[in-house]
Structure 1
Amino acid sequence: MSRSIRTVFALSLALAAVGTLAPASAQTSLTGSQIVQTMGSAARAAPPGLSAALIRQAVQQHMIDNPGLPITWKPLELLNNLAQIDVQIQFALNSAIIRPESYSTIGSIADALHHPILGGYKFVVTGNTDTTGNRKDNLALSQARADAVVEALTTTFHVDPARVEAVGLGEEALEDVKNPKNPINRRVQLINIGKYLPGK
């Protein structure tokens, strides 16, 4: 078994060990306190060792192993078992430029991340697309959009950059698998990936 396949398999096992939590529906208006309540109540659900780099590697391996198959994939499905919120962040068409009306949502996320209940945790921001367009381009666009949200959180709203990382999932983790072009698939997730350990 190659190292990359072992890594993906390890992610599958780690995520499979997590208890099931119902993911929040995508929303555009959440308060910081609502986010704290959702993210804090199940914060210990994240498996140890989960990181943005590991998720990115799993996505890349999935695309190599399944060329031309924009389908949901078990390790990425299992990310939905972690404490998280789904939100609709509005971007300019085919761009990573965040539309002004979405900054209030990002501000609410930042308020939550500054809250003492969530202060000891680390988070991944994932970008997701529907299946419109090229699969590889969708992955790149989703990464750019996740990067843009993280940049807004860390610069405009002063969230510690060591506590939040961006991951593009492209069309590899569809919310509505039966309707892959449904706009609900174009979403941003904030996922609690466990305790924040300074220096690690």
Structure 2
Amino acid sequence: MKKTIFGGLVLAIALTGAAGSASAQTALDQNQIMQSLQSAARAAPPELSAALIRNAVQEHIKNNPGMPITWTPLQLLDGLAQINVQIQFALNSDIIRPESYATIGSIADALHHPILGGYKFVVTGNTDTTGDRQANLVLSQKRADAVMAALVTTYGVDPSRLEAVGLGEENLEDTKDPTNPLNRRVQLINIGKYLPK
């Protein structure tokens, strides 16, 4: 399991319940999420948005149609406060499996906390390399949208603080094993101060 280090906190998050997972289940709590998402990471560039990320991914796919997937398009996201979680979905679907709602609820609890209340976040969907590259991109967008919708409709997170973007197979967690289930994950990334309109 890959460990992600943010501000001195080692956070190994692999939340799974469905068969076929390669990882053990680890409890995720609101305090861990808050510490990770407001850690002393570098500040996000002010122009960072889901649209900018989506455009970078589309450009990469267009310019590298046959390239092995070892590129990290989101170097602009490296070092930002973020978490990776394994959200379980129905096969080839954006329907969130019931066992993942506890994880999403913990994320929502953290986002409602006053410490994180002044920040905006991007929810990214990621796939492994199984299947068609464009289909994976579409599926990952639908899954990111589904997680964002659950945060908003089920847990009351302000939708203006969230953006969703699918990265498909373009931002693998394990580039040496591109079909590893760990690559199928959701990221929540702090992209800076939220300025209400």
TM-score range, shorter chain: 0.7 to 0.9
Matched residues in 2 for 1:85 and 1:147: separation? 17
Conserved? CA contact 1:82–1:191, under 8 Å? yes
> One-letter code of the match for 2:85?
V
How far residue 71 of structure 1 moved from its aligned partner, in angstroms, is 1.7
Match 2:180 to one of 170, 179, 182? 182
How far residue 33 of structure 1 moved from its aligned partner, in angstroms, is 1.3
How far residue 44 of structure 1 moved from its aligned partner, in angstroms, is 5.3
Matched residues in 2 for 1:95 and 1:170: separation? 14
> One-letter code of the match for 1:163?
R
Could you list the runs of 4 or more consecutive aligned residues of structure 1 that deviate by over 3 angstroms after TM superposition?
Answer: 20-26
Moved more, 126-135 or 44-53: 44-53
Aligned twin of 2:74: 76
How far residue 40 of structure 1 moved from its aligned partner, in angstroms, is 1.1
Secondary structure in 2 matching 1:180: coil
TM-score, scaled to structure 2: 0.86
Gaps of 5+ in 2: 1-5, 16-26
Aligned twin of 2:61: 63
Gaps of 5+ in 1: 1-19
Matched residues in 1 for 2:134 and 2:31: separation? 36
Secondary structure in 1 matching 2:149: helix
1:91-136 superposed Cα distances (whole Å, 9 cap, x missing partner): 0000000000000000000000001110000000000000000000
> One-letter code of the match for 2:160?
A
Aligned twin of 1:127: 125
Secondary structure in 1 matching 2:192: strand
Conserved? CA contact 1:77–1:173, under 8 Å? no
> One-letter code of the match for 2:96?
I
Change (3 A) 1:70 1:163: farther
Aligned twin of 1:10: none
TM-score, scaled to structure 1: 0.85
- The percentage of counterpart residues that share the same residue type is 73
Q: How does 1:1-200 map to 2 (within 5 A)?
A: 24-28=11-15, 29-42=27-40, 45-199=43-197
Secondary structure in 2 matching 1:45: coil
Q: CA RMSD in A?
A: 1.8
Secondary structure in 2 matching 1:192: strand
Conserved? CA contact 2:13–2:28, under 8 Å? no
Aligned twin of 2:23: none
Matched residues in 2 for 1:162 and 1:180: separation? 33
Secondary structure in 1 matching 2:74: helix
Larger helix proportion of the pair: 1
Matched residues in 1 for 2:30 and 2:59: separation? 35
Moved more, 26-35 or 126-135: 26-35
